[in-house]
Amino acid sequence: MRHRRKGRALGRTAEHRRAVLRNLATSVLRHERVRTTTAKAKEVRPLVERLITWAKRGDLHARRMAARYVHDRAVLKKLFETLGPRYRERPGGYTRILRLGPRAGDGADRAVLELVDREA
């Protein structure tokens, strides 16, 4: 029974799920647009929003907390030097999910997770 369990299992163990979400969040921050399944997009969205909020703060503690999830130094630098200042005046809602329909192979719902006001 899943009493008081948050989030989607995504058919993975807890360790694998955390790794998938970390990698997906890093990809969203690197490319500013990622195509994935709708379930994964909905699950990683709060993490990306939290990372950008920490980048807006910009202090050392926020950088260390973000480094727990983003293991790529170049992406971490982009997060704090580019994305944080870009969304400085925005109170939240840094991402959007656009649905694409079913995937051809297995019928999984696809979606695009992208940053709002991204550079084209």
Q: Is the dihedral of CA 28, 118, 87, 109 positive or negative?
A: negative
Q: What pLDDT, in 10s, does the model give residues 4-62?
A: 888 889 999 999 999 999 999 999 999 999 999 999 999 999 999 999 999 999 999 99
Q: What does residue 6 show for φ and ψ, rounded to 5 degrees?
A: -100, 150
Average pLDDT, the chain: 95
CB 84 within 8 A of CB 55: yes
Average pLDDT over residues 79-91: 96
What pLDDT shows up at residue 120? 65
% of the chain surpassing 70 pLDDT: 98
* Full-model pTM: 0.93
